[in-house]
Amino acid sequence: MNGNIVVEAMKPTGIVNDDIYLAHVTPDGHPEHRRRLEAIAARLGRNPRLADRLGRIPAVSADLETLCAVHAEAYLEALAATAAADGTALTADTFASRQSFQAARRAAGGVMAAVDAVMAGAVENAFALVRPPGHHAEIGRAMGYCLVNNVAVGAMHARRRHGLKRILIVDWDVHHGNGTQHMFESDPGVLFCSTHQWPLFPGTGLFTEIGLGPGEGTTVNLPLPRGYGDGEYAAIFHEIIAPLVRAYNPELVLVSAGFDTHRDDPIGGMRMTEAGFAVLTRILMRLARHCCDGRLVMALEGGYDLAALANSVAAVLAEMTDLTTAQPARMAAAAGARKRRYVLSRFETVHCKRRF
């Protein structure tokens, strides 16, 4: 207290992590492994100023009723059955071990817990550092390393528990979030915006995929040729996504935060750096503060170069805690003019008529 002025303590940024996430075992040489989370933890441990601004949110396990809001019951039963074997191949690249379904339930529940903490005002915003990842998981099948669609579960939980009517999901992973799109493409209560490399797995996410029926116009796909970097991503978020979000006016912002667009990632072909992820975070923070009292929850998806992943997560958290303040307009001004026009012209052609 200084005279009659009371300085309100800054709320922490919430972090969700849990040892069970490390118990999801994939085969030797698989890109998605426990060392990803270990690298992030080690990197955050080397920055005490950042660590002091973080508050731990205990994860919970999503119950089957909650999971059934987005997944088929028969599929969940098949996932539960994987506990009987040391290793189960669900697809050519997606595996489960004895504790994988337990980890997946806690990963989805971790996003739910983050949503609850943000909605209660206990934290400023939150990042769920979870695995297995989720955005490729479809209603009735595993896909692309993903077992349960964590962000989709979080969105449905926000709707059911907190009564929200308009939720934004932004997916900046290098791969299209096919599972998330398909779960909400007929639902006007969710605006799904995805930037992703094209062509690339899983082969979905064309400009012309804009939603179905009452959800037409609330699916926004921005497929990008390889080679897009910080400036182009900043321009896309600043010039396309930001106006959409302000028009939609969501009550909560969820982010499928994949870091495989980093220039050092072995899977993608993009040119993003830690500075670019910080700018995208700053844009979304400003939008969340404008629309919904800053309610922003991120959930970890891809990112397979350990140093790039760890450094990028640290850069995002530095923005979320206001330890740093990125400058989106400055970065967007450095976008390649031809690359920027390619995306903007195709977006405007497809989304020339808006429903919100």
Task: Report how far residue 218's alpha carbon sits from residue 316's, in angstroms, rounded to the nearest whole number.
Answer: 26
Confidence of residue 356 (pLDDT cuts 50, 70, 90): confident
Mean pLDDT of the 272-276 span: 98
In a domain, 114, yes or no: yes
End-to-end, the C-alpha distance of the chain in Å comes to: 45
Domain count across the chain: 1
Query: DSSP H helical segments within 12-135, as ranges?
Result: 35-45, 48-51, 64-67, 73-81, 100-120
- The Cα-based distances of 316 to 104, 163, 189, 281, 299 in angstroms read 24, 28, 27, 6, 12
Q: Is the pLDDT of residue 77 over 80?
A: yes
Q: Are the C-beta atoms of 275 and 283 separated by less than 8 Å? A: no
What pLDDT score does 352 carry?
Answer: 87
Q: What is the pLDDT of residues 149-206, one digit of tens each?
A: 999 999 999 999 999 999 999 999 999 999 999 999 999 999 999 999 999 999 999 9
pLDDT band at 8 (very low <50, low <70, confident <90, very high): low
Q: What is the CATH number for 281? A: 3.40.800.20
| 8 A C-beta contact, residue 206 and residue 222 | no
- pLDDT, one tens digit per residue, over 125-135 is 999 999 999 99
**Tens of pLDDT along 12-65?**
999 999 999 999 999 999 999 999 999 999 999 999 999 999 999 999 999 999
pLDDT at 106 over 80: yes
99 falls in which pLDDT band (50, 70, 90)? very high
Rounded-to-10 torsion of CA 223, 224, 226, 227 = -160
pLDDT at 176: 98
Q: Indicate whether 243 belongs to any domain.
A: yes
Non-local CB neighbours of 255 within 8 Å, separated by 6+ positions: 151, 169, 170, 171, 172, 284, 296, 297, 298, 299
Asked if 155 contacts 255 with a C-beta cutoff of 8 angstroms, the reply is no
Q: Does residue 314 lie in a domain region? A: yes
| Residue 186 resides in a domain | yes
Give, as one character, the DSSP assignment of residue 10: P
Distance CA 270, CA 304 (A): 13
- Active site residues per annotation: 136
Give me the chain's average pLDDT, please.
96
Give kind and range of the element (H or E) at residue 166: none
Model pLDDT, residue 129:
98
Q: Is residue 17 part of a domain?
A: no
Residue 139 domain-assigned (yes or no): yes
Q: Considering only CA atoms, which of 21, 19, 44, 102 is closest in space to residue 321?
A: 44
Q: How far apart are CA 34 and CA 38, in angstroms?
A: 7
Which residues fall within 8 angstroms of residue 34, CB to CB, at 6 or more apart?
A: 21, 22, 24, 25, 131
The answer as to whether 161 is a domain residue is: yes
Q: How confident is the model at residue 9 (pLDDT cuts 50, 70, 90)?
A: low
Q: Which two tokens stand for residue 94?
A: 């997606």
Cα distances from 252 to residues 21, 29, 228, 257, 288, in angstroms, run 25, 37, 28, 15, 7
Judge residue 99's burial from the number of C-beta atoms within 10 Å of its C-beta, 0-12 exposed, 13-18 middle, 19 or more buried. Answer: middle
Q: Where does residue 122 rank: exposed (0-12), middle (13-18), buried (19+ CB within 10 A)?
A: middle
- 197: domain range? 53-350
Q: Does residue 88 lie within any of the structural domains? A: yes
Report whether pLDDT(90) > 70.
Answer: yes
